[in-house]
Amino acid sequence: MDYAKAGLRREEFEAIRSALKREPTDCELLVMGVMWSEHCCYKSSKPLLRLFPTSGDSVVQGPGENAGVVAIGDGWGAAFKVESHNHPSAVSPYQGAATGVGGIIRDILAMGARPTASMDGLCFGDAQEPKTRRLARGIVAGIGGYGNAVGVPTVGGKTLYDKAYNDNPLVNAFSLGIVRLDRMASASTARPGQKVLLLGAATGRDGIAGAAFASAELGDDAKASRPQVQIGDPFEEKLLIEACLELHEAGLIVSMQDMGAAGITSSSSEIAAKSGVAIDLDLDAVPLREGDMEAWEILLSESQERMLLIVLPEKVDAVLSQATRWGLECAVIGDVREGDEWTARKDGTIVAALPATLIGEGCPELAWPAREPDDLESRWDFGPEEMDLPCDWAAETKALLASSDLTGKNWIHESYDSMVRLATVEGPGGPVSVIRVRENGRLLSMAMETDPRKTFLDPYRGGAETVARAIRALAVSGATPLGLTDCLNYPSPEKADQFWELAESVRGMADCCRELACPVVSGNVSLYNETSRHRILPTPLVVAVGLIDDPSELLRWGRWAKGDRLFLVGTVASSLSGSEYQQHRLGVLRGRPLAISFEMEQEFVDKARSTAHLQLARSGRPIAGGGLAVALAKETHQSGTGALVHMAVPTRPDVLLFGEGGPRALYAVPAQKLEAFRKNWASFPLTEIGIVGGEALHIRGLCSLTLAEISQSLGR
């Protein structure tokens, strides 16, 4: 077989041949083609990922396992990760999104953690396109259909619309679970003499070579590749979760692995490599849905709802009987022994025998050339003076509130069960999502952010801004960041200017993570998000997870009360470059976003946190998409009361109202806290901008919007 047919490059083929000192078999070539695809081995992005800081006081498990784990106090930990399911969702929106949710939940489960909360980052094409509506409906239905049934609440997320995603929507699924730190599962604990078991659904031809599929550009007729999409069964997954947690709790399993991309191969070879053992698989023992499957199909099948277990021989019977109790299939499919080889047998003959470390870690890294885009300077060529000031500020603000990115997403949020498991303190629709950890009484605050427009305009600044946004949101809610997970969604790295965008934005993210002490503990890379017509914007998405020690230290939003004073914290002169307003009003993407000042950011998060902890404000909202005006409108809407905003306008009013970027927040402060609030923010830019009360949001000299008008624009 030709190595190129298996998806391998010449140098990769040579690396395999020299490691084996023989010609690889066809089955081995197919296995390696998938395992060395971009999706599985990150060969293009590995050097960049090394830029991320990965250690910190709270980090228990950094990148490299199924999910990262941070300590959340009292011997408990939070395991979390975000992962893309972009290509499958493009070709089969419902199933693609559903299996994305299922896969990330199993990643959390594989750490021995109880999956407790999910979030989803969605980037859709132009909202006016019928195709976008169809894709969006299918993807949202898939996330709900799976997540609701499996009993893991979807507590938040992020949705944005841009024509750059017309052919290539993005679906990034995040999940978080709670685990006792002394009972964490790991891939490195297998020892010779133990047994390899497969628990869950029978193996079929689903998603064969899906991992390779996710690493190539989508064909213009995405439908043609449909047979590769997996089908999800949340009912089976629910049983699998309960069974695995029960087995783990009872000490019946040594290790477990999710079977995601490249199924049996990746899960078993990863355990072998990390544990420093050999694994022999007997493919005849694998329960199959179709009898006539080839060895390579069994090895690479991405059938859903399966887990690989490593079990002590004397405990195999107990595991099998527990599985029966849950109504799950379970089979012994292999042995762990001394050595470093990963072998698979079928019909009594060896079909693949490869060094385990070669499979997961041996792929030669790719160093794509990076070149600053020729049009970078012209991307920056923008001044607000190009934009006329609106003659009707109220109409402009309402239109912005009603724009696809900013308007209410109730149709999405309410289609997800956000409350099951009785942990949801703040569900979807707010700047952060907050859950209560029943095990220790503390709260976890989670902020999902992405800012692809600013990242496109200035990848370094945009990448840093993305991370900063998430950390600011945590801080305003009162949370201390523990760690962050990232999903890097980009077009092909093989074009030098696109690779430069990737590299620069990762550098910006990494610097921000380091400066603000928020280590990266897990993540995922999705490249080749482009078709011959379109490339996506560089879309790094992050979820930062923070801890709030006591519920009294949580500062909520949308809680204005009459008489509260309103404060803008942070600069009054941010930027319209890459803002929602610029996009909405001009439909262009130009200008240079603000540079980031880490000193300012650090000071902001410290002061925001003390504001929350000392209960110096009644309501607090970080200012992000749509700027101050949108923050004011959302607070008005949610609080059910208006405000009189009177402030000097030192800059253009549109920059003041709609500008974005930098550490900023809007606070409502009750009279008796004014002094302490001002003192807390001394030395930081602070502007008193108004007072809460009345039936309208009245911004003196510019506009007045009634509560009803705001609700209507926001979709309810």
Partner 1 sequence: MKVAVIAFPGSNCDDDVVQAVSDVLGCSVTKVWHRNRLDTEPDLIILPGGFSYGDYLRSGAMAARSPIMDDVRREVRRGRLVLGICNGFQVLTESGLLPGALLTNRHPGFLCRPCTVRVERTDSPFTGTFREGQVVNFPIAHNEGRYYLPPSDLEKLEKDGRVLFRYCNDRGETGDDFNPNGALNHIAGILSEEGNVLGLMPHPERSSDILLGCDDGILFWKSIQTWVERR
421 binds partner 1 (CB under 8 A): yes
353 binds partner 1 (CB under 8 A): no
Pick between residue 243 and residue 542 the one whose CB is nearest to partner 1.
Answer: 243
- Which of 39, 248, 584, 698 is catalytic? The answer is 39
Nearest to 312 by CA among 472, 174, 189, 489: 189
Q: How many CB atoms lie within 10 A of CB 714?
A: 21
Among the listed ranges 57-65, 322-330, 401-409, 529-537, the one in contact with partner 1 (CB under 8 A) is 322-330
Q: How far is the CB of 497 from partner 1 (least distance, A)?
A: 42
Instruction: Say how far apart CA 382 and CA 588 lie, in whole Å.
Output: 10
Site string for partner 1, 530-569 (x = CB under 8 A): ---------------------x------------------
691 binds partner 1 (CB under 8 A): no
231 binds partner 1 (CB under 8 A): no
Pick between residue 237 and residue 302 the one whose CB is nearest to partner 1.
Answer: 237
| CB-CB contact of 669 with 618 (8 Å) | yes
Q: How far is the CB of 157 from partner 1 (least distance, A)?
A: 14
Q: How far is the CB of 407 from partner 1 (least distance, A)?
A: 17
Nearest to 428 by CA among 716, 160, 156: 156
Pick between residue 337 and residue 559 the one whose CB is nearest to partner 1.
Answer: 559
Pick between residue 250 and residue 573 the one whose CB is nearest to partner 1.
Answer: 250
Nearest to 636 by CA among 573, 699, 551: 699
Among 151, 276, 339, 693, binds partner 1 (CB under 8 A): 151
Among 396, 405, 417, 504, binds partner 1 (CB under 8 A): 417
Pick between residue 121 and residue 144 the one whose CB is nearest to partner 1.
Answer: 144
Among the listed ranges 10-18, 417-425, 581-589, 618-626, the one in contact with partner 1 (CB under 8 A) is 417-425
Q: How far is the CB of 541 from partner 1 (least distance, A)?
A: 24
**CA of 485: how far to CAs of 123, 358, 538, in Å?**
18, 27, 17
Q: How far is the CB of 640 from partner 1 (least distance, A)?
A: 12
Among 233, 297, 501, 511, binds partner 1 (CB under 8 A): 233
| CB-CB contact of 397 with 633 (8 Å) | yes
Instruction: Say how far apart CA 648 and CA 606 lie, in whole Å.
Output: 27
Q: How far is the CB of 231 from partner 1 (least distance, A)?
A: 13
Q: How far is the CB of 249 from partner 1 (least distance, A)?
A: 14
Q: Name the 3-class secondary structure at 630.
A: helix
Specify which residues 309 forms β-bridges with.
197, 256
Beta sheet of 170-180, edge-to-edge order: 59-61, 68-73, 76-84, 170-180, 114-124, 154-161
Token pair of 404 as six digits? 């696809």
Among 93, 177, 234, 431, binds partner 1 (CB under 8 A): 234
Alpha helices in 517-593 (DSSP H): 580-586
Instruction: Say how far apart CA 15 and CA 7 lie, in whole Å.
Output: 14
Among the listed ranges 208-216, 247-255, 416-424, 706-714, the one in contact with partner 1 (CB under 8 A) is 416-424
Beta sheet of 278-282, edge-to-edge order: 255-258, 306-311, 195-200, 330-337, 278-282, 341-346, 349-355
Pick between residue 433 and residue 579 the one whose CB is nearest to partner 1.
Answer: 433
Among 69, 150, 479, 541, binds partner 1 (CB under 8 A): 150
For the residues of 198-209, what is the DSSP string, one character each? EEESPB-STTTT
Q: How far is the CB of 208 from partner 1 (least distance, A)?
A: 25
Among the listed ranges 415-423, 464-472, 558-566, 588-596, the one in contact with partner 1 (CB under 8 A) is 415-423
244 binds partner 1 (CB under 8 A): no
Pick between residue 319 and residue 669 the one whose CB is nearest to partner 1.
Answer: 319
E runs forming strands in 563-715: 565-569, 619-622, 643-645, 665-669, 686-692, 696-699, 703-706
Pick between residue 227 and residue 327 the one whose CB is nearest to partner 1.
Answer: 327
| CB-CB contact of 201 with 303 (8 Å) | yes
Identity of residue 94 = Y
Pick between residue 433 and residue 455 the one whose CB is nearest to partner 1.
Answer: 433
Where in 424-443 is the site for partner 1 (CB under 8 A)? 424-425, 436, 438
At a CB cut-off of 8 Å and minimum separation 6, what does 647 contact? 568, 572, 656, 687, 688, 689, 690, 700
Pick between residue 329 and residue 497 the one whose CB is nearest to partner 1.
Answer: 329
12 binds partner 1 (CB under 8 A): no
Pick between residue 48 and residue 155 the one whose CB is nearest to partner 1.
Answer: 155
Pick between residue 98 and residue 669 the one whose CB is nearest to partner 1.
Answer: 98
248 tagged catalytic: no
235 binds partner 1 (CB under 8 A): yes
Instruction: Say how far apart CA 465 and CA 586 lie, in whole Å.
Output: 23
Alpha helices in 478-566 (DSSP H): 496-515
Measured in whole angstroms, the distance separating CA 96 from the mean position of its chain's CA atoms is 16
Instruction: Say how far apart CA 571 and CA 568 lie, in whole Å.
Output: 8
Instruction: Say how far apart CA 314 and CA 346 lie, in whole Å.
Output: 26
Q: How far is the CB of 145 from partner 1 (least distance, A)?
A: 8
| CB-CB contact of 98 with 163 (8 Å) | no
326 binds partner 1 (CB under 8 A): yes
418 binds partner 1 (CB under 8 A): yes
148 binds partner 1 (CB under 8 A): yes
Identity of residue 535 = R
Where in 438-467 is the site for partner 1 (CB under 8 A)? 438
Among the listed ranges 95-103, 147-155, 363-371, 692-700, the one in contact with partner 1 (CB under 8 A) is 147-155
| CB-CB contact of 205 with 302 (8 Å) | no
Q: How far is the CB of 117 from partner 1 (least distance, A)?
A: 13
Q: How far is the CB of 423 from partner 1 (least distance, A)?
A: 8
Q: What is the 3-state secondary structure (H, E, C) of 463-502?
A: HHHHHHHHHHHHHHHCCEEEEEEEEEECCCCCCHHHHHHH
Q: How far is the CB of 536 from partner 1 (least distance, A)?
A: 28
- Which of 85, 87, 637, 698 is catalytic? The answer is 85
Among the listed ranges 189-197, 234-242, 377-385, 481-489, the one in contact with partner 1 (CB under 8 A) is 234-242
The count of chain residues that interact with partner 1, using the rule CB under 8 A, is: 31
Where in 125-144 is the site for partner 1 (CB under 8 A)? 141, 144
Q: How far is the CB of 100 from partner 1 (least distance, A)?
A: 18
715 binds partner 1 (CB under 8 A): no
382 binds partner 1 (CB under 8 A): no
Among 239, 336, 432, 605, binds partner 1 (CB under 8 A): 239
Token pair of 44 as six digits? 């293009």
119 binds partner 1 (CB under 8 A): no
Pick between residue 17 and residue 133 the one whose CB is nearest to partner 1.
Answer: 133
Instruction: Say how far apart CA 492 and CA 489 lie, in whole Å.
Output: 10
Q: Name the 3-class secondary structure at 567.
A: strand
238 binds partner 1 (CB under 8 A): yes
At a CB cut-off of 8 Å and minimum separation 6, what does 251 contact? none
DSSP state of 68: E
The H or E element spanning position 371 is none
Q: Where do contacts with partner 1 occur on this chain (CB under 8 A)?
A: 141, 144-145, 148-151, 233-236, 238-239, 325-327, 414-425, 436, 438, 551
Q: Which residues have a catalytic role annotated?
A: 39, 85
